[in-house]
């Protein structure tokens, strides 16, 4: 059995059976058996079942929000938003089965066309920071495209994923289409990566584990989507609405207790406005309400585990670099106060490594070129923001920063309808929007002979022209 903890109290909240190799193999076998039937479901019926699943989740919105808030230690208001996004994600992809279009391509002697075929069984490995939402980003497009899935949640936060398996059956999806294995990544996750009957792995988590998954998938030439770490820059120019930028900056890094791959944990501030920025920013950080996830007023909860708290603490070396800190409750639970390190160099460990906790590094810059250089001086390229009132500068910066999802005068970068994913070591492939759907299909090209004689070179062709059939 696995004991599931509540990070705000460090107490057990559930005991669940721990899955191992045998359970993982059984889940893959169920998904494999269900695949022929699921791929043959008429597109309109598949759409109706996905709408039904969205409605079934909606019927449990509050219950799932409370479960997620308790298990992941996140504020209840955030958890409600995340379950809302989960529902929206299933609705968005429910429309997809009837819009999986191919192309017709002009050829001689017949017709050529393309189809988007499902891959088969896909393995989905998700982390603990946004448990059900990130699962939905993968499950919904995978099912819409006609695949069956084996979902492996993080061992720390398996509860809403286990609910999803039950809700899929309740919504009328056939047995074996959605399967959940709750067990350790080093056992169940690894088995999915190695398994010859799994066609693709879609993974969100650390760059380190992502590297191992890419290597492991090579043996069976699995398709891989990796959504990995980040060290995103929040770039604030002197000509920005500084009050708005400084007021928004705290939750852009301390939201979800900093455990967000999009966290703008490097705050790049133009030196000419640094003092003014820090003045407003400090007040905003000190005002963050850190506490009980189930309290409606809470804005930040604990970090996920004692291990994570120790990891985060290792980035806060001494009071010398700590500019200021917010508050955190005393007592049990994995609490860590919002912490601002300033001024930092981009070469500092805290500016280069993904801390995944409530720690921000403030880095001054001189001008636009300096801002681009610092923003790109990282192994990551996931997200980021640009704050300026100069539209042309905003566009130049957005084009120059190597990251998959940027925002201007805003700190949001994730929407159901737009692609999300990383440059460089932040990952491979895209989630959400139409791009994710394509990632769960193979393109098949079919040539249909109609009049084979017509494919021979015609009399209108110049005999000296190269024969296109012989060009490979």
Binding site for ligand NDP (CB under 6 A): 125-129, 152, 154-155, 184-186, 189-190, 193, 204-206, 209, 212-213, 228-229, 261, 311, 354, 356
Query: Sign of the CA dihedral 270, 392, 429, 95?
Result: positive
Among this protein's residues, is 261 annotated catalytic? Answer: yes
Q: Which of 155, 165, 261, 431 is catalytic?
A: 261
- The nearest distance, CB 94 to ligand NDP, in angstroms, is 25
Measured from the CB atom, is 213 or 249 closer to ligand NDP?
213
Measured from the CB atom, is 128 or 237 closer to ligand NDP?
128
Given a contact cutoff of 8 angstroms between Cβ atoms, the answer to whether 413 and 264 are in contact is no
Measured from the CB atom, is 126 or 235 closer to ligand NDP?
126
Nearest CA-CA partner of 435 in 93, 132, 129: 93
Measured from the CB atom, is 206 or 455 closer to ligand NDP?
206
Q: Which of 6, 23, 88, 227 is catalytic?
A: 227
Nearest CA-CA partner of 437 in 147, 144, 223: 144
Give the DSSP H/E element, type plus range, for residue 16: strand 11-16
- The nearest distance, CB 183 to ligand NDP, in angstroms, is 7
CA 15 to CA 104: how far, in whole Å? 54
Contacts of 138 (CB under 8 A, 6+ apart): 122, 124, 126, 149, 151, 202, 204, 431
CA 428 to CA 356: how far, in whole Å? 20
CA 56 to CA 432: how far, in whole Å? 21
CA 103 to CA 433: how far, in whole Å? 20
Q: What is the DSSP letter of 150?
A: E
Measured from the CB atom, is 189 or 364 closer to ligand NDP?
189
Q: By three-state DSSP, how is residue 148 classified?
A: strand
Could you tell me the maximum CA-CA distance found in the chain, to the nearest angstrom?
Answer: 88
- The nearest distance, CB 344 to ligand NDP, in angstroms, is 18
Q: Side-chain half-sphere of 384: how many Cα atoms within 13 Å? A: 32
Query: Sign of the CA dihedral 67, 68, 69, 72?
Result: positive
Sheet bearing 110-118, strands edge to edge: 104-105, 110-118, 441-449
- The nearest distance, CB 143 to ligand NDP, in angstroms, is 20
Q: By three-state DSSP, how is residue 119 classified?
A: coil
Measured from the CB atom, is 83 or 126 closer to ligand NDP?
126
- The nearest distance, CB 240 to ligand NDP, in angstroms, is 27
Instruction: Tell me how many helices (H) and strands (E) the chain has.
Output: 15, 18
Contacts of 412 (CB under 8 A, 6+ apart): none
Given a contact cutoff of 8 angstroms between Cβ atoms, the answer to whether 397 and 235 are in contact is yes
Among this protein's residues, is 23 annotated catalytic? Answer: no
Q: Which residue is nearest to ligand NDP (CB)?
A: 185
Measured from the CB atom, is 274 or 304 closer to ligand NDP?
304
CA 146 to CA 125: how far, in whole Å? 19
- The nearest distance, CB 367 to ligand NDP, in angstroms, is 31
- The nearest distance, CB 463 to ligand NDP, in angstroms, is 59
Measured from the CB atom, is 25 or 442 closer to ligand NDP?
25
Listed in sequence order, the DSSP H helices in 287-367 are 306-313, 349-352
Measured from the CB atom, is 102 or 212 closer to ligand NDP?
212
- The nearest distance, CB 385 to ligand NDP, in angstroms, is 18
Sheet bearing 198-204, strands edge to edge: 178-180, 148-152, 121-125, 198-204, 223-227, 427-428
CA 86 to CA 11: how far, in whole Å? 27
Nearest CA-CA partner of 168 in 34, 73, 74, 40: 34
- The nearest distance, CB 126 to ligand NDP, in angstroms, is 6
Catalytic residues: 227, 261
């Amino acid at each position: 059995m696995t004991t599931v903890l509540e990070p705000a109290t460090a107490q057990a909240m559930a005991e669940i059976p721990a899955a191992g190799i045998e359970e993982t193999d059984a889940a893959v076998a169920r998904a494999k058996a269900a695949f022929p039937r699921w791929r043959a479901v008429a597109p309109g019926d598949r759409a109706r079942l996905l709408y039904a699943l969205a409605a079934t989740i909606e019927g449990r919105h509050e219950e799932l929000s409370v479960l997620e808030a308790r298990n992941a230690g996140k504020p209840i208001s955030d958890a409600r938003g995340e379950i809302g996004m989960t529902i929206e994600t299933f609705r968005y992809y429910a429309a997809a089965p009837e819009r999986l279009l191919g192309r017709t391509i002009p050829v001689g002697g017949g017709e050529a066309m393309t189809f988007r075929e499902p891959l088969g069984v896909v393995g989905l490995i998700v982390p603990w920071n946004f448990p059900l939402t990130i699962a939905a980003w993968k499950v919904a497009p995978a099912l819409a495209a006609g695949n069956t899935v084996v979902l492996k949640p993080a061992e720390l936060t398996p509860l809403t994923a286990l609910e999803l398996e039950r809700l899929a059956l309740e919504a009328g999806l056939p047995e074996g289409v959605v399967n959940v294995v709750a067990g350790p990544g080093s056992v169940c996750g690894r088995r999915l990566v190695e398994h010859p009957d799994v066609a693709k792995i879609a993974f969100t988590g650390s760059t380190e584990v992502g590297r191992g998954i890419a290597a492991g998938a090579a043996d069976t030439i699995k398709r891989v989507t990796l959504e990995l770490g980040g060290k995103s820059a929040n770039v604030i120019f002197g000509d920005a609405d500084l009050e708005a930028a400084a007021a928004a900056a705290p939750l852009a890094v301390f939201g979800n207790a900093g455990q967000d791959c999009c966290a703008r944990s490097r705050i790049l501030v133009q030196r000419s406005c640094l003092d003014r920025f820090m003045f407003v920013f400090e007040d905003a950080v000190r005002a963050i309400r850190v506490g009980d996830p189930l309290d409606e007023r809470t804005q930040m909860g604990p970090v996920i585990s004692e291990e994570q708290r120790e990891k985060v603490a290792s980035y806060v070396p001494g009071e010398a670099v700590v500019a200021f800190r917010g508050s955190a409750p005393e007592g049990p639970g994995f609490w860590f106060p919002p912490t601002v390190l300033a001024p930092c160099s981009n070469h500092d460990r805290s500016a280069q490594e993904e801390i995944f906790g409530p720690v921000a590094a403030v880095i001054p810059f001189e001008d636009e070129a300096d801002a681009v250089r610092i923003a790109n001086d990282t192994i990551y390229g996931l997200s980021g923001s640009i704050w300026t009132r100069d539209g042309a500068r905003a566009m130049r910066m957005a084009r120059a920063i190597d990251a998959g999802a940027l925002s201007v005068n805003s700190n949001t970068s994730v929407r159901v309808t737009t692609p999300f994913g990383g440059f460089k070591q932040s990952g491979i492939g895209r989630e959400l929007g139409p791009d994710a759907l394509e990632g769960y299909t193979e393109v098949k090209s079919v040539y249909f002979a109609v009049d084979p004689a017509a494919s021979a070179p015609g009399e209108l062709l110049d005999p000296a022209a190269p024969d296109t059939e012989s060009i490979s």
